[in-house]
Structure 1
């Protein structure tokens, strides 16, 4: 009887898989019924329940799960040959439960209507459009930089601790919700990750736990990157699962903040994405545009780059490949390259705006 129950649990993954495949073809239905219907209640329930706890329950759960999984594999290693069917049922039931929970609690958001359609924006742009928006971002970033440090060669140092930034990040969404009511963020559940060192070696600045709805930020990353990274994870909490869309919302949130340090972090975040796309299309033009950027801004960019270089290791390509596979499995066909599509949102949103 127990074995049959396990088999039924394993088989439940099939209808859930079918639902996910159907969701891919009906984004409007997902948007209305799940992303704007059921999901906000799920998200708030978890944030009310766990958000007040000062440390990440998800990280604690993950740590114990890893220890338990290793222990279970060691103790049940011989069963792979001696009791293969039941061993596979145990593993399959676990995978099925995790997959179903992931999809129902958050994962279906990967299949909602694309953000550019919601905002009535184009999803492509010309090189000329890219250049014009990049120039706008350079001008705005330079102005903010000089307002803060009064010297174009000094990098910006944010006058906040990482904990203070986590407390201040919701204020960005308080302003943003005036134009985008669906981005109202309350209560919060934004925390430092207990696994920041492993994340740094894996190349991750933060992550959202879909099973506890906590947003975790790597406490090792430069403070300069904290506003946009924390805002990015909040966007995931609000149901924007795709990385490029979460990046764009992080940009909007930080530039909406009244604090000039947040604005600086947001505008230079957008600038860096656009510069990367300019370099991909025209390296010579990239060098010309780079010369117009204040040296202090370049130093902030270098600060971030040097941080990640410090944690480079032989396993990083494996982690990137694994994450790319995850993204492709969740309706982001370009994998890690999906991040670059934030530029399409930036260009089309900013093209006719005065910064």
Structure 2
């Protein structure tokens, strides 16, 4: 690449940033021309290109790029020290290319019309509404638990492999599109991440690779939680970037699945967010509702707590802080707390449609 071309690409970064900020003020345009326009074509093409590969191509791509970057620094560290401005120019050139690719291939979805507007629901709620939906989910969790185990003290053990869970997730999306066409999912690309162990240490259940459109799932997570995570990551694939939206989509598609294990996963995941809110706003009601859960349901929750505690490390807060900053830069003002905003979506949806 010639020096002039590198200079031009590096300088193009600022106009790109300004354009994205301008588009952030026009979500109706982003929705019409990108999220419902070119993005479905781009994303489906990428899934056709990489979805058939039985392993995560995106993980390998990241690995190759990291090795290339380390190799470059090792081979050229002397010239970097001698000409730091040229190195800085090269860094901005690469960043400009990545910034463009990220927003073209997926990132502009951060600026689309929020899912609550598309569904015609409101997300405000009262303490009474939070208590009511929490109680509703407790009753459903207990009912599904007994339907599966026939024993209130036994935890639910999912009998499926990760591959079977991914297949059932895809089938769930084929079912939900009849009720909500905006959740249509074509050309599957749902995989276990090669880096499930590092993801666990970082505290993540999965992620979407925006450059290959592969939905990556942390296969180390206890199986009874994987249906919700899989549904969440596919929600990103179909064009919803906001974490509260994909948490809600994951709940909705998993709850509508005909499989009782999926319904249980969906219910307990949604309930966890509601109980988390109650534990802060009304600890007494939280204690009462949590105590009314079947012992086996509480065992499943403890299984998750024990799992994540086993991988706690001093670096996890750093990764969470970085992701928090990433979300705020990309139009999610609450950052990592936006995950919990799913509570408002759950209440708003139940208020209008029921579940």
Residues of 1 paired with 2:45 and 2:19: CA distance?
24
> 8 Å contact 1:133–1:351 — kept in the other structure?
no
For 2:178, what is the secondary structure of its paired residue? coil
In structure 1, the partner of 2:202 is 202
**TM score, norm. by length of structure 2:** 0.98
For 2:120, what is the secondary structure of its paired residue? coil
Structure 2: segments with no counterpart, 5+ residues: none
Offset of 1:353 from its aligned partner? 5.3
> 8 Å contact 1:30–1:108 — kept in the other structure?
yes
Residues of 1 paired with 2:326 and 2:353: CA distance?
35
> 8 Å contact 2:109–2:241 — kept in the other structure?
yes
For 2:148, what is the secondary structure of its paired residue? helix
In structure 2, the partner of 1:135 is 135
**TM score, norm. by length of structure 1:** 0.98
**1:153 has 2:153 as partner:** yes
Offset of 1:15 from its aligned partner? 2.0
**1:267 has 2:267 as partner:** yes
For 1:312, what is the secondary structure of its paired residue? coil
Superposed CA offset, 1:265-313 (max 9, x none): 1111111111111112111211011111111111111111111111100
> 8 Å contact 2:123–2:347 — kept in the other structure?
no
> 8 Å contact 2:10–2:93 — kept in the other structure?
yes
For 1:351, what is the secondary structure of its paired residue? helix
In structure 2, the partner of 1:26 is 26
In structure 2, the partner of 1:351 is 351
Offset of 1:354 from its aligned partner? 5.3
**1:306 has 2:306 as partner:** yes
Offset of 1:245 from its aligned partner? 0.4
Offset of 1:22 from its aligned partner? 1.1
In structure 1, the partner of 2:222 is 222
In structure 2, the partner of 1:338 is 338
> 8 Å contact 2:247–2:342 — kept in the other structure?
yes
**Structure 1 stretch 294-303 or stretch 11-20: which is displaced more?**
11-20
Cα RMSD (Å): 1.2
For 2:77, what is the secondary structure of its paired residue? coil
> 8 Å contact 2:140–2:267 — kept in the other structure?
yes
> 8 Å contact 2:206–2:216 — kept in the other structure?
yes
Paired residues, what number? 355
**1:258 has 2:255 as partner:** no
**Structure 1 stretch 184-193 or stretch 81-90: which is displaced more?**
81-90
For 1:261, what is the secondary structure of its paired residue? helix
Offset of 1:352 from its aligned partner? 5.6
Residues of 2 paired with 1:293 and 1:2: CA distance?
66
> 8 Å contact 2:121–2:352 — kept in the other structure?
no
Residues of 2 paired with 1:2 and 1:265: CA distance?
54
For 1:331, what is the secondary structure of its paired residue? coil
> 8 Å contact 2:203–2:316 — kept in the other structure?
yes
For 2:99, what is the secondary structure of its paired residue? helix
Offset of 1:88 from its aligned partner? 1.0
> 8 Å contact 1:244–1:342 — kept in the other structure?
yes
Q: How does 1:85-100 map to 2 (within 5 A)?
A: 85-100=85-100
Offset of 1:329 from its aligned partner? 0.5
In structure 2, the partner of 1:188 is 188
For 1:194, what is the secondary structure of its paired residue? coil
